[in-house]
Amino acid sequence: MPTTICDKEQLPIMNDYNDSETLYAARRHEVLFSGNIPESDRPVYHLPARIGWMNDPNGFSFYQGKYHLFYQYYPFDTKWGPMHWGHAVSADLLHWTHLPAALAPDQPYDDYGVFSGSAIVLSDGRHLLMYTGVKKIGKNPDGSVDSRQTQCIAFGDGVNYFKYEGNPVIDADQLPEGLDPQNFRDPKIWAGDDGLFHCIMGACNIVDRDDLASGQILQYKSRDCINWEFECVLSENNYRVGSMWECPDTFELDGKQVLLVSPQDMLAVGDEFASGNGTLALIGHLDPETGALVEESMQAIDYGIDFYATQTILSPDGRRIMVAWMQNWDCISMGGRRSWFGQVTVPRELSVRDGRLYQWPVRELESIRKNKVAYKGVPVSGELKLDGISGRIIDLTVTVRPEDVENPYHEFTIWFAQGDQFRSSVRFSPAERMIKINRKHSALRRAVVKDRKCVLVNYDGTLRLRILLDRFSAEVFVGDGEQTLTMTILTDPVFDGISFFADGCAVMDVEKYDLA
Ligand code: FRU
């Protein structure tokens, strides 16, 4: 953790807005220490924790002309601790300005943590945050913390937020029978076309400690955001995909109803789902009688390593844009020696085509591209480097086809973050239609997940990959965005080499831009 002290003039003042000592301590810590983190130690167009620890993005909203993104936050260490909400704003979804921490665990009903939630703008101009308050009750017989989760709200002006004096607004007694008051969280709120507010959250059944629970997504409705009434069960896991479903989000897109969730304790299923904490998109339509989601298809949202806890916004120009925590609980021990841990993915525009969720980097990214370098029809056989194709903060598109369709190449690899003993990779094997990302040589000092793969859902003989690199991450968009693979890397950004390799004869087009 940093040791030097920066400008004391900026220290927050205890005033009407932040008269919580816990929030004051967090804001003070931010001012004293976050300035010590050199810009070169942070990503350029991904939001990282201001200082300390970040997990889920929260409260993704557009308020007073800016995008607001909050996040699960523990400023005092790079490990998870009593959750606060960090806060940042951006005009373009790419360059973020950190604001003072917005919420702290300072009330009897949220003393164990201000867990995930969402935000909306009220018609009177106030910004409303809805979150899960976690209260510590004691210890379970096995030593774990016994807690209760309830849903709470706070009102604010874009910088300072007051918790509602009548919190919680949804208590355990509003849970359907048999559901677990220790696992009832992550409200996603929206204003419906019916003039009512609605919210969904994750819940699960009560089980013996050694058993796995099964998630449910509960929907509530309200006229005023304060008095809530149970509406329906939007979706049930029924022990199909993992256990508890966290961080739900639902919206209509391209004529379909989409539900995004992050299941815990997943079992690997073929090449679709990997073990551990993962992500799941359910696509279908709503049953007009019950309000429940009638599923038509399901898929993983991202096939990489570091991707969890998605949240979306409907942008003012009507785009459904998704972000996620660009990290995963299964790999939080991956280490790194920085004073921050955790970043948010690049915001991705969503669409649904043929029952599949497509993702594409927000179009704002095109306006920060510069220094275009392009090649067309380059033969690749063995390893090849190209003049001007290198960098760690870049937007790289590579299109690959066999030189001879009758005699296709066996493997095509892009090495990046390359230098000394380091290199990270994306590899394609046409016979298996398989894409694999690999970070074995990406400066990780812990034995966490090193590779992940997926089988292409669309492949007509030409492979198209768009790869976004920032200082500590790689996001791979396959084809038109029908599949994505995301991972973080720890390689020092000075290692910025890129090379291409084909086992056999391939021909490629390459287009590269620096991003600023
Ligand atoms: C998901 C999650 C949420 C919870 C938060 C706590 O990553 O477990 O369900 O609200 O993190 O930090």
For the chain, residues with pLDDT lower than 50 are 1-8, 14, 16
**For position 288, what pLDDT does the model report?**
97
**For position 15, what pLDDT does the model report?**
53
With beta carbons less than 8 A apart as the criterion, state whether 465 and 477 touch.
yes
- Residues 354, 377: one domain? no
Q: What is the pTM of this model?
A: 0.96
In a domain, 1, yes or no: no
- Closest ligand 1 atom, residue 247 Cα: 9
- Residues 190, 291: one domain? yes
Residue 457's domain comprises 368-515
In a domain, 3, yes or no: no
- Residues 356, 484: one domain? no
Instruction: Quickly count: other Cβ atoms within 10 Å of residue 109's Cβ.
Output: 17
Q: Among residues 459, 457, 442, which one has the least CA distance to residue 402?
A: 459
The Cα 82–Cα 168 span in angstroms is: 18
- Residues 377, 309: one domain? no
56 given a catalytic annotation: yes
The residue among 332, 361, 390 that closes a domain is 361
The residue among 305, 328, 361 that closes a domain is 361
List all residues whose CB is within 6 A of at least one atom of ligand 1: 55-56, 72, 83, 115-116, 132, 185-186, 246-247, 308-309
Half-sphere exposure in the Cβ direction for 497 (13 Å, CA): 14
Ligand 1, atom 6, lies closest to the CA of: 115
Q: How far is the CA of 56 from the centre of ligand 1 (A)?
A: 7
**For position 143, what pLDDT does the model report?**
84
- Residues 432, 292: one domain? no
Q: How far is the CA of 158 from the centre of ligand 1 (A)?
A: 23
Query: Exposed/middle/buried for 251, CB within 10 Å: 0-12, 13-18, 19+?
Result: middle
Q: Among residues 275, 270, 271, 245, which one has the least CA distance to residue 260?
A: 245
The Cα 89–Cα 20 span in angstroms is: 23
Q: How far is the CA of 454 from the centre of ligand 1 (A)?
A: 26
- Closest ligand 1 atom, residue 262 Cα: 1
**For position 351, what pLDDT does the model report?**
98
Token pair for 459: 């492949």
Domain with 37 in it: what CATH number? Answer: 2.115.10.20
- Closest ligand 1 atom, residue 116 Cα: 10
The Cα 411–Cα 409 span in angstroms is: 6
Q: How far is the CA of 407 from the centre of ligand 1 (A)?
A: 49
- Residues 300, 241: one domain? yes
- Residues 294, 389: one domain? no
- Closest ligand 1 atom, residue 246 Cα: 9
In a domain, 2, yes or no: no
Ligand 1, atom 8, lies closest to the CA of: 246
The residue among 300, 331, 361 that closes a domain is 361
In a domain, 398, yes or no: yes
Q: How far is the CA of 144 from the centre of ligand 1 (A)?
A: 16
Q: Which of 16, 19, 41, 56 is catalytic?
A: 56
Q: How far is the CA of 416 from the centre of ligand 1 (A)?
A: 32
| Counted domains in the chain | 2
